[in-house]
Amino acid sequence: MVKKDRAIQRKKEQVKKIAEGAAMGLGFFVMLASLSYRAQVAALLDVVLGPLAKFVRPENFLITILILSVITGVYTSVIQKYTMNWELMEKSKEYQKQIRALQRELMEAKKEDNKHKIKKIEKRRAEVMRKQTQFSGEMMRQQFKPMAYIMIITLPIFMWMWQYASVNLSGVSVVFPLIGVKELSEFFIIRLRMPYWLLWYIACSIPLTQLIRKMLGIRSGM
């Protein structure tokens, strides 16, 4: 009976992995395919986001971006919370702590020139590193798994913001702290073609996402 239950559980896990792999593959396919139809995707999303931007007004586009950064922060955090194996991530962090502690012990042993202790610590460190390596592939999969789901939603939003900015933000300038007056459609990194409105999105998104993660009780994955 126990063996049968274990076999059923293994089959469920295999089906789950296949489904997750298929979803990730579909997500990356949609992501790559949508890049070829940026204008069409932006026009489709404008049905939803256009009225918001019109209500806020183009000269206040930074407020629209602030609202979108909150929205993206919420669904990004929720997706990560329910798609990542946090026990596995915590286990990885514990191994990293052990390796750092053993490295400090090894340095002390070398200072003391205690060869017996050095050999003992190196053996323990090798064992911990071996265990960590065993599930490194799964760790990478855990990091990439939510990315497919997130990009399916995030890429269209960025396409819409880019399209809207290129049409409506010509001549619209704001005062950035430490930078001064800048036109939102100008590039602050010319080579990468990154406009100032994107700089504002990044400045809003990072702290807001961290706050949302804290409110949802999401632990750090690193």
DSSP one-letter string for 53-86: HHHH-GGGHHHHHHHHHHHHHHHHHHHHHHHS-H
Q: Is the pLDDT of residue 29 over 50?
A: yes
Structural domain boundaries, residue 133? 2-215
Reported as a pLDDT band with limits 50, 70 and 90, residue 152 is confident
Mean predicted confidence (pLDDT) in 182-201: 79
| pLDDT score for 222 | 44
Domain total for the chain? Answer: 1
Reported as a pLDDT band with limits 50, 70 and 90, residue 148 is confident
106 or 18, greater pLDDT: 106
Identify whether 50 is part of a domain. yes
Identify whether 37 is part of a domain. yes
Encoding tokens for residue 26? 């579909």
CB atoms closer than 10 angstroms to residue 222? 8
Prediction pTM value: 0.66
3-state secondary structure 133-198: HHCHHHHHHHHHHHHHHHHHHHHHHHHHHHHHHHHHCCCCEEEECCCEEEECCCEEECCCCEEHHH
pLDDT, averaged across the chain: 78
Reported as a pLDDT band with limits 50, 70 and 90, residue 191 is low
Identify whether 222 is part of a domain. no
Identify whether 221 is part of a domain. no
Identify whether 220 is part of a domain. no
Pairing of strands 173-176, 180-183: antiparallel
- Report yes or no: 71 and 52 within 8 Å, Cβ to Cβ: no
Encoding tokens for residue 24? 């990730």
CA distance 110 to 123: 15
Mean predicted confidence (pLDDT) in 35-45: 78
Mean predicted confidence (pLDDT) in 54-79: 90
| pLDDT score for 7 | 59
* Coil vs helix vs strand at 221: coil
- Report yes or no: 158 and 31 within 8 Å, Cβ to Cβ: no
**What are the angstrom distances between the C-alpha of 88 and each of 18, 60, 75?**
19, 43, 22
190 or 213, greater pLDDT: 213
Identify whether 83 is part of a domain. yes
Mean predicted confidence (pLDDT) in 190-208: 83
